[in-house]
Amino acid sequence: MHFCGPKVLPPCVAPTKCCVTHSCETFIQPHIFPSHTTHVNHQIIQHQNFYPHTDSFVNEVENVPAPGFMPGPFGIPR
């Protein structure tokens, strides 16, 4: 088969053009200065002594027959 189109010739290469790009990146460097606070809570216990005391009272009643009185049966006088 015969092709009647254009023929491709070898390329003609020009010298390489050099380009330079610059980029910038910012970094953050943390500097840490730790500190610590201790909170001390003091608790004071004051002791108090208690001496509870109770009193009780007793009233005694004694029944005695009157002189010359002699109760009969069922407590009825004679």
30-65 pLDDT per residue, tens: 999 999 999 999 999 998 988 998 999 888 988 888
Q: Tell me, rounded to whole angstroms, the distance of Cα 60 from its chain centroid.
A: 63
The candidate with the shortest Cα–Cα distance to 78, out of 70, 40, 55, is 70
Helix, strand, coil tally for the chain in percent (to 5): 5, 5, 95
Kindly give, in sequence order, each residue whose CB lies less than 8 Å from that of residue 71, ignoring residues fewer than 6 positions away. 65, 77, 78
Its pTM surpasses 0.85: no
* Cβ contacts of 78 within 8 Å, gap of 6 or more: 70, 71, 72
- The pLDDT score that the predictor gives to residue 66 is 78
